[in-house]
Structure 1
Amino acid sequence: MDYKTLKLSKDGMPTWDAMLPIVLKTAAGQKEWTRKEIETASADALGLPEDLRQKKYKNSLGNVIENRVDFALSDLSIVGAISRVRRGVYQITDVGKKLLETPDNINVDYLHSLPKYQEHQAELNTRNQRQDIAEDAGDEKEADDDVAEQIFEKVSAYNNKVGSELLDRIQSGSPTFFENLVVQLLISMGYQGPNGTAQVTQATNDGGIDGIINQDPLGTRTIYLQAKRYKKDNVVQRPQIQQFAGAIHSHNGVFITTSSFSAGATEEAKKSAIVLIDGIRLTELMLKYHVGIQTKRKYELVEIDEDFFEE
């Protein structure tokens, strides 16, 4: 394929959305791919010249074609055309193979109209609304808008996309992984204290206690945890909160799920003084306390030091 026949950006590079059919067709070429392999193979499929293969962003912190393949890979993963089978390894799915039968549909408009993408976008909108981020935070804004506010909104919108991906990754993990995650999160939030202990409990008929945090050496301040790794449509109901409340006997409790809570569950939790953390709130906390993520880049926004210029 001649890359010049595709939609190109000003620098002569295929745009990320033009990479969608290329990446999907490449993924069909073998059973499994590492991210690096699919980036290289996609560039090979385009016949991309060396100068464009090596092109980096102005800040020199990323390769352009690799980044655009990654964006395409992300959208294809959201709609279920490509799946992550284990760490850093991807493969085409039956959904992806079906899409290849109608190549004209492998475009942004069609993919973004699919139910899975619509569900993903609805979740992002909820995250942005919780933080009062404008829906067009990823778009260009008026020149006279406050620059610091623009930066904050764009970074927050980007991180919310990471939060959505985090939730998907958690839901694809094991229940044991999730139980360890929620204990680690509360430790990172400081609930263990300087001399306390934290542990994941063994599977028993304990009413669903999955973790215990003793905030002091004697265990006089204890937090009991329940962790439910549910699909998004499996809403936690009132009886599950009642069962947990009965198990912890008026002690402090935190109920964490990857899904959400019914109105009855929320009402019951208030009566029992149990803190509820749903899937979106869970990943918001993970972003805030840096659990399961790492910093990609840092930028400095500077201003004049007025004290320096005082005479």
Structure 2
Amino acid sequence: MTSIDYHQLKTSKYGLPAWGSLVAPAIEIGLQKEEWHIKELEASVDDALNLPEKLSRLTYEKYPDTRIIIDRIGWALSEGATAGIFVRPKRGVYKVTELGKTLFEQYGYKLDSKIVHTQPQYIAHKKEVQERKKASDTDNSELDSGEFYGVNGTALVVKDIAKQIDNYNVQVADDLLNRIREAEPKFFEHLVVDLLVKMGYQGVNGNAIVTPQSHDGGIDGVINQDPLGTSTVYLQAKRYQANNIVQRPSIEQFYGALNRLHADRGVFITTSSFSQQAIQTAKSFSIVLIDGLKLTNLMLQYRVGVETKHHFDLFTVDEDYFDADELQ
């Protein structure tokens, strides 16, 4: 059993190890097995720290059932996964990556939050989050344009509710994108076909298929919009991490695959983003591009991979019902 002297780790409030200093122990323990369920890994790291009982049992005042050390280990795993130090091949399962192993060999217990946050995958992810929030704020600009009126603060209530729902959905979309990146490539190919079918591209009597991997020829999915296949959409799906930006050669290769099929309709979908050269090349080839942000927004819009959690009714007084003239 691994034993870690917690005094070697940077501590923060309550005298407990900070979440950043717990990334290294999580890697060290995580390397002992191929995969770990999160609860098992958290418990193993907790045991290895050998904290004094008083520290080990500390809980949050507002959440007395949550041990602080377990919460911080959870943060270490979550932030580490965002940075590419861990991957989650299945729900609730963690695995140390080659990057995680390399960082532990390089820094040991000196690995901290600053190092985690400077990893390219983490930086790219945070950029995505900011872009998603910025787009969301732009979409909701009508809430500030005077379109919503009311009495007794109704407009403010509507604005506040809309903002909270939007913030929540931004987090869901972000989690959705991470889940897709951690899934198998074939799963992603099925997902993009399902999405375009939900969007209506299959047509009434058309069909949609995922191309067998050994014979895809650069085409991952095919959607025939009519029974005779006279109108066909070809798909390319690339499941990449945030920092793996699709470049122009990938678009050119996809165009080559379309050209061999004498096709004029192509959609290139990725979980990352496209370089400016890739975007310009796609325009010249009439290829539609869907990046990770747009992908998850479409998934929310067309209910692919998500379900409605709550439904709320916001009422207003029916002025016509109370109109005295209507009673004459």
The alignment's TM-score, normalised by the length of structure 2, stands at 0.66
Post-superposition CA distance 1:244-290 (Å, at most 9, x none):
44134254322223444454544454454432223332333334334
Q: CA deviation at 1:151?
A: 0.5
**How many pairs are equivalent?**
282
Larger Rg, first or second structure (1 or 2): 2
Aligned-pair CA distance for 1:87? 5.0
- For 1:131, the equivalent position in structure 2 comes to 136
Q: Does 1:291 align with 2:304?
A: yes
Is 1:34 aligned with 2:37? yes
Q: Call closer, same or farther: CA 1:206–1:148 in 2, change over 3 Å.
A: closer
Residue identity opposite 2:301 in structure 1: K
What is aligned with 1:225?
235
Q: Which residue of 2 aligns with 1:111?
A: 116
State whether structure 2 residue 192 is matched by structure 1 residue 182.
yes
Quick one: which amino acid aligns to residue 275 of structure 1? V
- Look up the match of 2:172: 159
* Aligned pairs (5 A) from 1:48-197: 48-49=56-57, 55=63, 69-84=73-88, 86-92=90-96, 93-95=100-102, 97-98=104-105, 101-103=108-110, 105-107=111-113, 109-132=114-137, 146-166=159-179, 168-169=181-182, 173-174=184-185, 176-197=186-207
Secondary structure of the residue aligned to 1:227 is strand
Q: Deviations over 1:152-209 (max 9, x none)?
A: 4422442343244245325xx33x3333232122123232234321112235777523
1:41–1:221 distance in 2 versus 1, CA, 3 Å: same
- What secondary structure sits across from 1:180 in the alignment? helix
Contact 1:178 1:227 in 2 (8 A): yes
| Deviation of 1:211 (Å) | 1.7
Q: Secondary structure at the match of 1:37?
A: helix
> In structure 2, what residue type is equivalent to 1:306?
V
What is the CA deviation profile of residues 223-259 of structure 1, one whole-angstrom value per residue up to 9, with x for unaligned ones? 2222344561441335325314413425432222344
More contact order relative to length (CA 8 Å, sep ≥ 6): 2
The alpha-carbon distance between structure 1 residues 253 and 119, as it changes in their structure 2 partners (threshold 3 A), is closer
Indicate if the aligned counterparts of 1:167 and 1:280 stay in contact, CA closer than 8 A. no
Structure 1 residues 53, 94: CA separation in 2 closer, same or farther (over 3 Å shift)? farther
- SS of the aligned residue for 2:197 comes to helix
Contact 2:177 2:271 in 1 (8 A): no
Structure number with the higher helix fraction is: 2
TM-score (norm 1): 0.69
- Displacement of 1:72 in angstroms is 3.0
- Structure 1 residue 212 displacement after superposition: 1.4
Counterpart residue number, 1:141? none
Q: Which residue of 1 aligns with 2:153?
A: none
How far apart in 2 are the matches of 1:33 and 1:159?
24
Q: Distance in 2 between matches of 1:165 and 1:184?
A: 18
Partner of 1:216: 226
Identity of aligned residues (%): 36
Say if 2:23 and 2:112, in contact at 8 Å, map to a contact too. no
Report the aligned-residue RMSD. 4.2
Match of 1:280 in 2: 293
Mapped to 2, the partners of 1:162 and 1:122 lie a distance apart of: 15
Q: Is the 8 A contact 2:246 2:278 kept in 1?
A: no
TM-aligned CA deviation for residue 94 of structure 1: 1.0
Q: 1:249 to 1:67 in 2, by over 3 A?
A: farther
How far does residue 27 in structure 1 lie from its aligned partner after superposition? Answer: 4.8
Q: CA deviation at 1:73?
A: 1.5
Task: State how far apart, in whole Å, the 1-side matches of 2:292 and 2:234 are.
Answer: 18
Distance 1:279 1:157, change over 3 A: closer
**What's the counterpart of residue 7 of structure 1?**
13
Distance 2:164 2:238 in 1: 35
Deviates more, 1:232-241 or 1:29-38: 232-241
